[in-house]
Amino acid sequence: MARLKTDLSSPCGAPADATARFYDGAAAGYDALVDGRDDNVAVRLSFCERVVSIAGPGGVILDFGCGTGTDAAWYAARGHRVIAYDVSPGMVDVLRARCINEIAAGRITPAVGPLAAMETALQGSPPVAAISANFAVLSHVRELKPLLQRLASHVKPEGALVASVLNPFYRQDMRHAWWWRSALRSVRTGAIELKGKVTSYRHFVSAIREAAEPHFALVEVRAASRSALLGALDSNFLFVVLRRRP
């Protein structure tokens, strides 16, 4: 998913139009790129299983940064009502084609554009049991706190936000000069930053914990995958669970 658009562009520091355009251009080939790798397929399944374990039977799931709808379809097939939100019209167009039957049946409600579009889609819905933010959606957001505060208002007490975020200490990243240049600034920013067509922020766990308060408590962090030798250093993604405080 691209960075947040219009009504959160200032607090997140995000040139969201450019990022949305990037994902619009990538939409047609996105599934082949991401799910063409066996390790990504395994990470996706593990993540989705964790989300539904938190949502509980029939719990409403907000798929935040839904992309092309792979996760949304998986949740809906297991009895969940899904609000599927993304800033990229191109990605949501793919979702609409993939999930045409689920949308017609009311099991998936797509929303696209600024956060106001997501909030309109949530009107009249029961409180969200779990927010799913898969494949580094939050890693496109520079300032997490304003976003997390806004998302918390839609989550029922003891519900949770489950996110896969980019690991700031991923071994393969640490082999590059950009990582070390950004590391010198990270004491101030709380993240390893990689600039490009889409800027990403590898937030430190301590920064995520601080941004989550007071509405969420960080209750779980684990590597999406790990090697016997180097453990979490070999995992590009971390799974993070933020529990909604009562």
Total domains in the fold of the chain: 1
Cα atoms in the Cβ-side hemisphere of radius 13 Å centred on 131: 30
CATH number at residue 92: 3.40.50.150
Q: Is residue 239 part of a domain?
A: yes
pLDDT at 9: 38
pLDDT for 153? 96
**Ranges 66-80, 164-178, 199-213, 221-235: which has the least confidence:** 221-235
pLDDT at 30: 82
Say how far apart CA 127 and CA 226 lie, in whole Å: 34
What is the mean predicted confidence (pLDDT) over 85-110? Answer: 97
Mean pLDDT of 71-76: 98
Domain contains 195: no
188 belongs to a structural domain: no
Give the model's pLDDT for residue 12. Answer: 42
- Residue 6: pLDDT over 50: no
**pLDDT at position 165, please?**
97
CB 128 within 8 A of CB 62: yes
Residue 194 in domain:
no
Q: Assess whether pLDDT exceeds 60 at residue 210.
A: yes
Of the segments 30-34, 71-75, 178-182, 221-225, which one has the largest average pLDDT value? 71-75
- For the cut 80, the answer to whether the pLDDT of residue 42 exceeds it is yes
Q: What is the mean pLDDT of residues 80-88?
A: 97
Q: How far is Cα 232 from Cα 1, in angstroms, rounded to an integer?
A: 24
Task: Quote the domain boundaries for residue 49.
Answer: 6-167+204-244
222 assigned to some structural domain: yes
* Average pLDDT along the chain: 90
In Å, what is the CA distance from 162 to each residue of 106, 113, 132, 143, 194? 23, 22, 5, 18, 23
Report the C-alpha gap between 214 and 181 in whole angstroms: 32
Q: Are 83 and 120 in contact (CB under 8 A)?
A: no
- 212 inside domain: yes
**So what's the pLDDT on residue 32?**
85
197 assigned to some structural domain? no
The SS3 assignment for 37 reads coil
Residue 117 vs residue 196, higher pLDDT: 117
pTM score above 0.85: yes
Domain-located, residue 232: yes
> Is 2 a residue whose pLDDT tops 60?
no
